[in-house]
Structures are given as C-alpha cells and as structure tokens.
Amino acid sequence: MNQRWRLIALWLLPFGVAVFLGWQVLGSGGPARFAESTGAGVPSARNTAVARMSYGRFLDYVEAGRVTAVDIYDGGRSAVIEAVDPDLDNRVQRLRVDLPGVAPELINNLKEKGISFDIHPPRNSPPALGLLGNLLFPLLLIGSLIFLARRSSGMPGGPGQAMQFGKTKARFAMEAETGVKFADVAGVEEAKEDLQEVVTFLKQPERFTSVGAKIPRGLLLVGPPGTGKTLLAKAIAGEAGVPFFSLSGSEFVEMFVGVGASRVRDLFKRAKENSPCLIFIDEIDAVGRQRGAGIGGGNDEREQTLNQLLTEMDGFEGNSGIIIIAATNRPDVLDSALMRPGRFDRQVSVDAPDIKGRLSILEVHSRNKKLAEDVSLEAIARRTPGFTGADLANLLNEAAILTARRRKEATSLAEIDDAVDRVIAGMEGKPLTDGRSKRLIAYHEVGHALVGTLVKNHDPVQKVTLIPRGQAQGLTWFAPDEEQMLVSRSQLQARIMGALGGRAAEAVVFGHAEVTTGAGGDIQMVAGLARQMVTRFGMSDLGPVSLEAGNQEVFLGRDLMTRSDVSESISRRIDEQVRLIVDRCYQDTLELVGNHRECMDRLVELLIEKESLNGDEFRSIVAEFSVIPEKERFSPLLPATTT
C-alpha cells in the first residue's frame, strides 16, 4: 500500500511542474505570449494558421497599400495584419509581425494610408493570481516530500529513514517463530545445556531467584565458522517465547560519529520496555574489538559505540531482565572490558563436532533426503573428521544435487564419495591425457600413499586418485582416527615423511634433476610442521622451550608488527634445527621409497589403469611386497596431499 502511494506521489510531481509553468505563462505573458508559445492566434484568428513577416517587409506592404487591417497586441511588441498578396491571386492573408513598440510615426502612417487598426491592451492578471502562481510549485514540492516521508517512515531504505537515523535496526518479534527448536540442533550438546538454562530462567525465574542465583547477563558463543552459533540463537528464540531482538554487529557502525551509540541506546530502551527479553548480536567482533588499536587515537565511531554498549550492559543503571547473546569466531580480538563478569559472564564454546556429533547432525539433515539402503550415516561420519555442521549440510546437499543430475531416485555411496571429494578438493576436472605427465603425477601420489602406509605412526590411506579436482592434478587422502586428541613426536615426523613421499618418489624414479614443482605445497606444510616442533612443542635439541613470539598485533597486520622474542643466534639455531629435522625425514623417506621400488611400479601401473584406488585396494597390493605395520590411532585431521 505504501509503495502504491509513493508511486502516485512521484507521478504527481511532473503534473505540478506543468501547472506551475502554466500559471507563470498566464500570469505574466498575456495572450500574445500564450499565442506565441502554443501557436494559437487571437480570438479573430483562432482557426487560422498565422505566418510571420519581418518588420521591414511590413512597412513595404504599408507603403504599397497591401495592408487592409492591423491589430496591435502586447503593448506594441507584436501585431497581426491582414494583407493582400499578389502572388496568391490577391487573396487576403493573415500575418504576424514583431514590432519595436507602438511608435507614433507608425500610427500616423496607418492613418494616412487609411488602414483600419486597433490597439488591444495587455491582459493583466490579478496580483493574487500571480502570487499564487509563484508559490504553487514550491508548496507542491514541499508537500510531496512531507507526504513521502510520512508514508515511508518505518520502511527499510525509505526516505523516512533519514528521520530515524539514530534508531536501532534490530529485528523485533514478541515471540520469534524461527521454526528451530533445540531438537533441531545436533552435535553441540554441551552448548545446548548452557543455553537451556537461559530458556528455563526466562520461563521459570523463581527456580533461580529462590536460591539467590542470578542468570548470566551475557552469553558469548565462540567457535569456528559453520559450527551452529546462529542456529543455536534461533533455537533459543524459538524455545523462550519472550520478546526477541536480533541484529548484526555491523548494523551499529555508521560513518557518522555518534550514530552507533545512539542506536545502542535506542536498542536497550526498547528492550527495557519489553523485558524480560533476549538480544542476539551476531558477529559482535565488528563492534567489540579492542579499543585503542586504530591509527591516530581511539575517538572513532566504533569505539564510541563500544563504550555505549559497555555502559548499557553493566553501567550505573543496569539492565535487569535483559539477556544478551552474542556470537563470534574471533574472541581473541574482543575488548577485555566486554569479556569481564557482569557483561559476558559466560563463554559457550561451539566447536567442531566429534564422530557422535557428526552422526547426529547427519541424522538431522538427512530427514528430507532419499538415501539408498547401502548408505551408512556412521560411515559418512567416520569419513568426515573436522567437518562442521554447515559442512555436513552442504555435503548432503551436494550429494542430492549429484543424484538429481544423474537421474537417480535415491542417493547412493557413489554420490556421497563424489560429494566429499568436491566439498574438500573442488570440482572434478578433465582426466589427464598426457602420458608422461600422468605417469609422473602417478608416481608422486603413490609416493605419498606408500610412505603413509609403510610408516607406523602415519594415518592410513583412504584414497589415491589421478582425477584432477580444483587446482590439484592428483590427490591422496588419509583417514585419521580422532579418538586421541594429542599428537606425539613420532606422529609429527611420520606426517613430514608422508608429505615428502611425493618428492622422494620423483627423485628415486626420475633423478634429482627431473624433480618438479608439484611438491611446493608439501614442502610448505613440512616447513610449518618442523618449525612448530622446534618453537612451540619443544621437540628439538634446543629443549622444551617455547621460542615463538607471543605479541602479535591483530589489527595493523600480524606480519608487520610481530616482534621476535629471541636473539639472532637463537634464530639461527632454530633454522638449523628445522633444517635438521627435515633433512633426516627426507633421507629416511628416500631410503624407504628406494627399498620398495618394485611395489611402487606395480601400484603406478594399476593407478594409471584405474585412475583411482581406495585404501583397501592399495593396502592389498602393498601387502604382497611388504609387511604393513599396525597403525596407531590418533586424532588430528591430515590435509589431503595434492599435486
């Protein structure tokens, strides 16, 4: 309805302009100007087209006696004459002449020639009508603007928003119908227990107040992206049944200083009017970052907004009955005053789910999916360590898309496997056709998988493929077990050897002069692991000492502002230890690959033929040539080794 009225008002503006111009013409121009602008004549010539004649020719016609009548208008500035034209068989023609003014000599000349003439006085408009004409357009314009402002007030993006620039942009619902309950949130059971206390307090506050307990004023949901922080907030809103405000941290901040603080004040004013209530602020790090970290002082819009937020959460007046829930994946950048008790009293960690959590998440997201009988959700959960809830939802959606594309009625294991590969590595590319490049990549990937299989403390191989995905021309997947959350020194060395297996295979088969750039990503990962062993984990000859810089600025650039806490001599020793670890692992990898050359050649031929080998097929071939050591189970997810 408001949109329709706005369109009507916009259509009325051109009409108002036309009316104003018409009044101006009628008020100051007289009938002669009106006749000039429209092409119409005076009343005696209203049905005749009037041609123009120059003043000099008009005088010639007067001297020649061809003019029979003259009507003078507009104070002597124009005239309409009747003249006989000998070129038109002496027919009488009406012509228009622009005069320099009513000159006495012209009147005397017309009298001497006996020409009938008449002087028409100008048609003057009443003064009130002229004033009305001058004021009509401004009044119409001002009235239209007021009309638009009144109609669009409260509409997002409308001109009326200029009147409410300092008002909060939070979405408000007396009882938020999000369609999400706690039963729809899986994989974060510990976080759900903390948040259910909030819902219980809002519904039955006497259970807490009777024993002198106070519910936390603020709850901060902390966790990686995609773990379900916003989904938990929706579940709280759906369960609580109280007024609910939701907004993003970026909606506080504007380019004008003071607007964000005004919006904070307005938000808490509305919240107090509807208490008890919930306020959910998503991505609070947009407004809650550490103060004093900017260039040129701290008197900027974001800091003014944060100061007002701190005051409203736990200031002089307080905000009893208001519970604030915020979410962020960057708790390290939040201001310490925001994190103290009395503001965000409790931090709720929403981490990536374990295998049980992934299984429950898959059960939730597979409710509306048609899965084949051979699809095991537990097998999918075991294959996807490190996946968040959003990743698992995307995985099942990609599998459903592949099922529809292949015109199947239900999603099978083939679609699940392809969806996992696509989510992690990217879209499948064209198969390799160059025989030499394909063989080199095959040796590289088999080198990774062979070392990972023969080293005791390495994760078992899950899949080896030559099918390109994303930027990788070949892929080797490992399937770690996550029962153990700590990583030993031997396990880190095994990872380094597995990553160097591709480069070692190239060197053994093609020679050191023919190694390629395919191991660039592997070498970067190896350098990072080795440096962490030396500087963070104390797994070198330097002893159990942390040598990593502790002060890192997160606003002006980590690399620019990082200060080293060690001397130059210690830095050289760190580099030497890193090089020593990598050299030892590489020599062991070269020896291992060289001792199993025959097995590697057999695996390469089979991989080139089939283009993909799963873990069981790969281990069965290796078992024909060597004894595979029993693997130790450990937790962290290894990235896929790519070429």
Structure-token pair, residue 388: 């968040």
Together in a domain, 396 and 369 = yes
Distance CA 450, CA 307 (A): 58
d(CA 38, CA 32): 10
Please indicate, yes or no, whether residues 408 and 464 belong to a single structural domain of this protein: no
For residues 563 and 85, give the distance between their C-alpha atoms in angstroms, rounded to a whole number: 102
**Burial grade of 174 (CB within 10 A; 0-12, 13-18, 19 or more):** exposed
Residue 137 lies in a domain: no
In a domain, 300, yes or no: yes
Tokens standing for 328?
């962020």
- Residues 493 and 535 grouped into a single domain: yes
Overall domain count for the chain:
4
Question: Who has greater pLDDT, 123 or 433?
Answer: 433
> Helix or strand or coil: residue 472?
strand
Between 643 and 581, residue with greater pLDDT: 581
Between 492 and 422, residue with greater pLDDT: 492
Res 184 pLDDT > 50: yes
The yes-or-no verdict on residue 41 having pLDDT over 50 is no
User: Does residue 162 sit within a domain?
Assistant: no
Q: Which domain holds residue 381?
A: 355-425
CATH of the domain at 604: 1.20.58.760
Let me know if residue 460 belongs to a domain: yes
Separation CA 218–CA 271 (nearest Å): 14
DSSP state of 469: B
Please indicate, yes or no, whether residues 364 and 392 belong to a single structural domain of this protein. yes
Would the pTM of this model clear 0.75, i.e. be above it?
no
CATH code, 249: 3.40.50.300
The larger pLDDT score, comparing residue 107 to residue 318, is at 107
Are 340 and 386 within one domain? no
- Flag whether 372 is in a domain: yes
On average, the pLDDT of the chain sits at 78
Last residue of a domain, one of 323, 349, 375: 349
- The token pair at 509 is 């088969």
Give ∠ CA 247-249-252 in degrees, rounded to 5.
90
* Residues 440 and 568 reside in one and the same domain: yes
**Residue 18's CATH number:** 3.30.720.210
Q: How do residues 304-340 score in pLDDT, each as one tens digit?
A: 888 888 888 876 666 677 888 899 988 888 888 888 8
Instruction: Tell which residue, 87, 88, 70, has the closest CA to residue 79.
Output: 70
- The domain boundary, picked from 313, 329, 349, lies at 349
Most confident of 237-241, 250-254, 291-295, 587-591: 587-591
What is d(CA 626, CA 93) in angstroms, rounded to the nearest whole number?
120
What local confidence, expressed as pLDDT, does residue 34 receive?
38
Q: Judging by beta carbons within 10 Å of its beta carbon (0-12, 13-18, 19+), is residue 374 exposed, middle or buried?
A: exposed
Q: Which residue has the higher pLDDT, 29 or 10?
A: 10
Establish if 215 belongs to a structural domain: yes
Would you call 560 exposed, middle or buried from its count of C-beta atoms within 10 A (0-12, 13-18, 19+)? exposed
**Residue at which a domain ends, from 319, 349, 379:** 349
Asked whether residue 194 falls in the same domain as residue 331, the answer is yes
pLDDT recorded at residue 290: 84
Q: Are 301 and 260 in contact (CB under 8 A)?
A: yes
Specify the pLDDT at position 466.
Answer: 87
126 belongs to a structural domain:
no
Q: Give yes or no: residues 331 and 208 share one domain.
A: yes
Same-domain pairing of 321 and 383: no
Contact predicate 395/423, CB 8 Å: yes
Q: Say yes or no: 451 and 586 in one domain.
A: yes
Q: Are strands 277-282 and 218-222 parallel, antiparallel or unpaired?
A: unpaired
- Output 54-61 pairs: Cβ under 8 A, ≥24 positions apart: 54/97, 55/97, 55/98, 55/99, 55/100, 58/95, 58/97
| Distance, CA of 118 to CA of 124 (rounded, Å) | 18
Mapping DSSP onto H, E and C, the string for 350-403 reads CCCCCHHHHHHHHHHHCCCCCECCCCCHHHHHHHCCCCCHHHHHHHHHHHHHHH
Q: What is the mean predicted confidence (pLDDT) over 427-440?
A: 78
Q: What is the pLDDT of residues 185-194, one digit of tens each?
A: 888 888 888 8
Place of tokens 């509305």: 270
155: phi then psi, degrees, rounded to nearest 5: -90, 130
Which strands make up the sheet holding 641-642, listed edge to edge?
A: 612-614, 461-465, 475-478, 641-642
Instruction: Please check whether residue 150 lies inside any domain of the structure.
Output: no
Residue keyed to tokens 């024993």: 211
Which residues are tagged catalytic?
Answer: 445
Amino acid letter for position 407: R
Pairing of strands 612-614, 461-465: antiparallel
The residue ranking higher by pLDDT, 505 or 479, is 505
What's the pLDDT at 288?
85
Local structure of 474: helix, strand or coil: coil
In this predicted structure, the answer to whether residue 247 has a pLDDT above a threshold of 90 is no
Asked if residue 242 and residue 362 are part of one domain, the reply reads no
Query: Are 457 and 394 found together in one domain?
Result: no
| pLDDT value of residue 429 | 74
For residue 345, give every residue at least 6 positions away whose Cβ sits within 8 Å of its Cβ, in sequence order, or none: 216, 217, 218, 219
Produce one character per residue of 490-520: b if its CB has 16 or more CB atoms within 10 Å, e if not. Answer: ebbbbbbbbbbbbbbbbbbbeeeeebeebbe
Q: Is the pLDDT of residue 639 over 50?
A: no
